[in-house]
Amino acid sequence: MDVVSPELNSLLPDEIMDTEAIEDVPHSQTDVATVKEEPSDDTSVPMETDTPVAAESLSLCSDAAVTEPSQVVTTSTGTDSTLCISSESQIPFSISSSSSPLLTLKPAMATSTATTKTTDSVTGTTVSTSGLQKLTAPFTISPANHQIILNKVATEAAKSGTPPQVIKQEGQKLLVTTIGKSGQPIVLQLPHTGGKPGVSQASGDVKPQTPQFKVVTIDGRSELKPVVGSASNQVTTLQAQQLKAVQIAKKTPVSSAAPIKFIITKTVNSKGRVLTQNSPVMPQRTITLSEPHSMSIQSIPGKKIAISPLKSPSKVTVVSVASPTSNTSQKSVALPVNVALGQQILAVQQSTSASPVKVATSQTTTQNIKPVQSVAVGGVSGSQFKTIIPLATQPNVQQIQVPGSRFHYVRLVTATTASSTGQPSGPSTSSIQTAKPMVVSTGAVRMSVPIVPAQTIKQVAPKPLTSAAQVVTTTQTQQRLIMPATPLPQIQPNFTNLPPGTVLAPAPGAGNVGYAVVPAQYVTQLQQSPFVTLASSSSFPAPTGIQTQARLPLNGLTTAETTSRPRKPCNCTKSQCLKLYCDCFANGEFCNNCNCNNCFNNLEHETERQKAIKTCLDRNPEAFKPKIGKGKEGESDRRHSKGCNCKRSGCLKNYCECYEAKIMCSSICKCIGCKNFEESPERKTLMHLADAAEVRVQQQTAAKTKLSSQISDLLMRTAPVISSGGGRLPYTFVTKEVLEATCECLLEQAKKAEHTHQPQAEAERMILEEFGHCLMRIISSAGKAKADCASINC
């Protein structure tokens, strides 16, 4: 199933793949219907799974070379639906369905991007999270109403009753089986809630056969697991779907130097808490899945499977790792199918690696809500995502925003082969919905990304796609949309639907494949346009489970810094802000509140701007890519892509781009007299000074805040008491003269303390005490005056 060709993905800026998980992952092709493993030496995060072409069979390939445990739960209940849940050190899940549900959950990796994504390919509903550690909201998959709700895992049943590798269906619909490592079965189950026919059902894809699960273990043993028929008479897509086969095959890694890192390493008890951690490299994390109903459990002990990274989105990639571990605990995930009219919104958030990640699921109530999809890719910092974007029924646009990157990537997905869709060729959307940009407040940053309407997408790609449009949002304020447009001839007729700032440029060595570079700030400007942001949309409640974002380093800056820090205004005078000299332009942004002269970096000069962008890309196809990328293996995770060329600054001033990015110079730098290396005493001195200065600033700020709070508190407590009349005193009573007199009293008290050589604390106490006395006198006088006034009035 080729949603996006590997070639195209390889052309994506590295920031998309700039995760430890997916970097350096060679592309390998396998049969479309086969889940394959992508060998990687640094693969730590499963990035994406796609629906198998026919979804008739699903293969889970185990890498014999993988030594670390991982988990994958895979279930397919339909002819063209696939549910994959994989787990690495955390618990990645992937559930995909070409015709209906596509769900992918992937937890963040401690070392790099971790993504949890839930996608409904039909509705375009996608939920993903970086660093999933704790799921606080139920997780329900509904092919009919496009709802996915994460439920808390109830592993008690898994522990006690069902033996591993047993698939059973209790209740109406059981979709998900688990292939967890021994003792940690992942349970995906469907609730008794009935389901309504989904989109795929409307398209005539209903096949009410009894689902069967064929589980092939790593050792070649296979089982065909018939699923108990649904107790409900309602025909749902899930019920109609039938899993043909689940295969788990061993696979020798292509490269011995490509160990799979994203592996489940945690043992989860019945409450979803991590009991043990099997992987020394992975920090312990907690995953909690709220679990309203626990019905059926399936687990395959000894199997540890991880989903391959996004590098090969065209394939469902699952890595199975043998893991003869003990049955100490179980990990289960309940996946009840919930039927509702509303579309699904799922907000997942990752906290720091040291704290449990919480996943909040926000589900729209019912009506008038378009399908939305939110996909987040966690960066090395483990930043979060919270973006909900409406999707067309047949989405073929993927937006990816990578934390740490200033870019938003929009992948225009086109179906190249009929088999890739998993559905009959040709447009099969039962309904077309015009996507509207929606924005969910992400704390410091909000983003609104208009998505090409579904009609337009269909023109670009007449064949429906199995992967839903995805929007990956980070908390970066500086954003850019880069749309890998492939193939260009197909996209070309729809350029009118792209933002005016979009510039299509060929990717290096990509032939007719290129990028559409769209300044993300265009979105900001468009927020004043007819596009409606989610925040302003009354019909689309914002997720409530969004948590405070993690504060992990990101390009030298914490997430909070990158999100809250306003962009510096440029001061360009001669470049018209259309050259890379201009930071705004270089960041793909429009100038806004800048001090530039003769600025052309705005919507009013789109023609010139597009031309300039194209010029820059012609000169350097990677001109708009972040300069700070991932270093080679064994080196620092971040390094300058080109290296600096400093000659006089010693690379210890902000002239140096490496130093400015708070990274050390690397071997590719051509600097002279570099002092920006690990053991440099000058660098250490600077670091210490900077740290000390920062501490001082923080202390001063804290002191000011405390004093202000004390004064405010004193005012609040004394005013009502002394106001003899019971009412509030007039503020105008504190005149300038009164203030001056008060200050004199305070100064006198300070002098007194100084003369008596009082310690600072005592001096502060004396001053505050005097200030309190002054206030008392002021308030007393005011109260007296008020009383006098009242008596006069009487």
Partner DNA sequence: GAGTTTGAAACT
Partner DNA sequence: CAGTTTCAAACTC
β-strand pairing of 638-640 with 628-630: antiparallel
Nearer to DNA, 418 or 672 (CB): 672
* Binding-site member from 536, 548, 645, 698 for DNA (CB under 7 A): 645
Give, in order, the Cα–Cα distances in Å from 343 to each of 310, 446, 560.
25, 21, 30
Window contacting DNA (CB under 7 A); options: 108-116, 511-519, 650-658, 699-707 = 650-658
Window contacting DNA (CB under 7 A); options: 630-638, 640-648, 743-751, 752-760 = 640-648
How far from the centroid of its chain's Cα atoms is residue 462's Cα? 29
* Binding-site member from 202, 245, 281, 580 for DNA (CB under 7 A): 580
* Binding-site member from 221, 565, 648, 688 for DNA (CB under 7 A): 648
Does the protein bind DNA through residue 495 (CB under 7 A)?
no
* Binding-site member from 233, 654, 732, 791 for DNA (CB under 7 A): 654
Q: How far is the CB of 583 from DNA (least distance, A)?
A: 5
Q: Which helix or strand (DSSP H or E) is residue 609 part of?
A: helix 606-619
Nearer to DNA, 365 or 645 (CB): 645
What is residue 338's DSSP assignment?
-
Q: Give the angle subtended at the CA of 751 by the CAs of 746 and 752, to the nearest 5°.
A: 95
Q: In what order do the strands lie in the sheet with 303-307?
A: 222-226, 212-216, 245-251, 57-63, 318-322, 303-307
Q: How far is the CB of 586 from DNA (least distance, A)?
A: 7
Does the protein bind DNA through residue 644 (CB under 7 A)?
yes
Window contacting DNA (CB under 7 A); options: 128-136, 423-431, 462-470, 649-657 = 649-657
Query: Residue 770 contacts by C-beta under 8 Å, 6 or more apart in sequence?
Result: 745, 746, 748, 749
β-strand pairing of 266-268 with 245-251: unpaired
Total residues binding DNA (CB under 7 A)? 35
Two tokens, residue 231: 């107790």
* Binding-site member from 319, 646, 767, 779 for DNA (CB under 7 A): 646
Nearer to DNA, 367 or 654 (CB): 654
Does the protein bind DNA through residue 565 (CB under 7 A)?
no
Contact indicator for 317, 37 with CB cutoff of 8 Å: yes
Nearer to DNA, 245 or 623 (CB): 623
Window contacting DNA (CB under 7 A); options: 39-47, 410-418, 462-470, 563-571 = 563-571
- Which residues of 402-531 form beta strands (DSSP E)? 408-412, 470-471, 480-485, 503-506, 514-519
Nearer to DNA, 153 or 612 (CB): 612
Nearer to DNA, 655 or 733 (CB): 655
Does the protein bind DNA through residue 192 (CB under 7 A)?
no
Window contacting DNA (CB under 7 A); options: 112-120, 524-532, 570-578, 628-636 = 570-578
For residues 61 and 577, give the distance between their C-alpha atoms in angstroms, rounded to a whole number: 51
Beta bridge partners of 316: none
For residues 523 and 483, give the distance between their C-alpha atoms in angstroms, rounded to a whole number: 14
Does the protein bind DNA through residue 619 (CB under 7 A)?
yes
DSSP letters, 213-250, are EEEE-TTS-EEEEEPPPPSS----HHHH----EEEEEE
Nearer to DNA, 447 or 658 (CB): 658
Nearer to DNA, 65 or 582 (CB): 582
Nearer to DNA, 342 or 621 (CB): 621
* Binding-site member from 322, 380, 616, 779 for DNA (CB under 7 A): 616
Window contacting DNA (CB under 7 A); options: 229-237, 443-451, 566-574, 781-789 = 566-574
Per the rule left: phi > 0, alpha: psi between -120 and 50, beta: everything else, 715 is alpha
Integer-rounded Cα Rg, in Å, for the chain is 29
Q: How far is the CB of 171 from DNA (least distance, A)?
A: 58
Contact indicator for 474, 385 with CB cutoff of 8 Å: yes
Window contacting DNA (CB under 7 A); options: 186-194, 255-263, 509-517, 646-654 = 646-654
Q: How far is the CB of 664 from DNA (least distance, A)?
A: 14
Does the protein bind DNA through residue 567 (CB under 7 A)?
no
Give the number of other CB atoms < 10 A from CB of residue 687. 12
Beta bridge partners of 338: none
For residues 19 and 35, give the distance between their C-alpha atoms in angstroms, rounded to a whole number: 22
Does the protein bind DNA through residue 574 (CB under 7 A)?
yes
Among residues 461, 596, 584, 463, which one has the least CA distance to residue 525?
584
Does the protein bind DNA through residue 628 (CB under 7 A)?
no
Window contacting DNA (CB under 7 A); options: 135-143, 155-163, 223-231, 614-622 = 614-622
For residues 440 and 537, give the distance between their C-alpha atoms in angstroms, rounded to a whole number: 10
Does the protein bind DNA through residue 667 (CB under 7 A)?
no
* Binding-site member from 551, 603, 655, 668 for DNA (CB under 7 A): 655
Q: Which helix or strand (DSSP H or E) is residue 246 part of?
A: strand 245-251
Contact indicator for 130, 114 with CB cutoff of 8 Å: yes
Window contacting DNA (CB under 7 A); options: 645-653, 716-724, 758-766, 775-783 = 645-653
Does the protein bind DNA through residue 581 (CB under 7 A)?
yes
Query: Residue 149 contacts by C-beta under 8 Å, 6 or more apart in sequence?
Result: 137, 138, 139, 140, 141, 336, 338, 344, 346, 361, 363
Does the protein bind DNA through residue 649 (CB under 7 A)?
yes
Q: Cis ω on the peptide bond leading into residue 487 (within 30° of 0)?
A: yes
Q: How far is the CB of 323 from DNA (least distance, A)?
A: 46
Does the protein bind DNA through residue 755 (CB under 7 A)?
no
For residues 756 and 642, give the distance between their C-alpha atoms in angstroms, rounded to a whole number: 62
Does the protein bind DNA through residue 573 (CB under 7 A)?
yes
Does the protein bind DNA through residue 102 (CB under 7 A)?
no
* Binding-site member from 315, 627, 630, 675 for DNA (CB under 7 A): 627
Q: Judge residue 557's burial from the number of C-beta atoms within 10 Å of its C-beta, 0-12 exposed, 13-18 middle, 19 or more buried.
A: middle
Q: How far is the CB of 618 from DNA (least distance, A)?
A: 10
Does the protein bind DNA through residue 677 (CB under 7 A)?
no
Window contacting DNA (CB under 7 A); options: 117-125, 209-217, 232-240, 582-590 = 582-590
Nearer to DNA, 568 or 736 (CB): 568
Nearer to DNA, 63 or 583 (CB): 583
Two tokens, residue 334: 């309940």
Q: How far is the CB of 579 from DNA (least distance, A)?
A: 4
For residues 204 and 305, give the distance between their C-alpha atoms in angstroms, rounded to a whole number: 34
Does the protein bind DNA through residue 656 (CB under 7 A)?
yes
Contact indicator for 444, 563 with CB cutoff of 8 Å: yes
Report the residue count for the chain. Answer: 794
Nearer to DNA, 648 or 751 (CB): 648
Among residues 391, 393, 352, 396, which one has the least CA distance to residue 374?
391
Residue type, 512: N
Does the protein bind DNA through residue 149 (CB under 7 A)?
no
Using CB under 7 A as the criterion, which residues of the chain lie in contact with DNA when the complex forms?
568, 570-575, 577, 579-583, 586, 615-616, 619-620, 623, 627, 642, 644-651, 653-657, 660
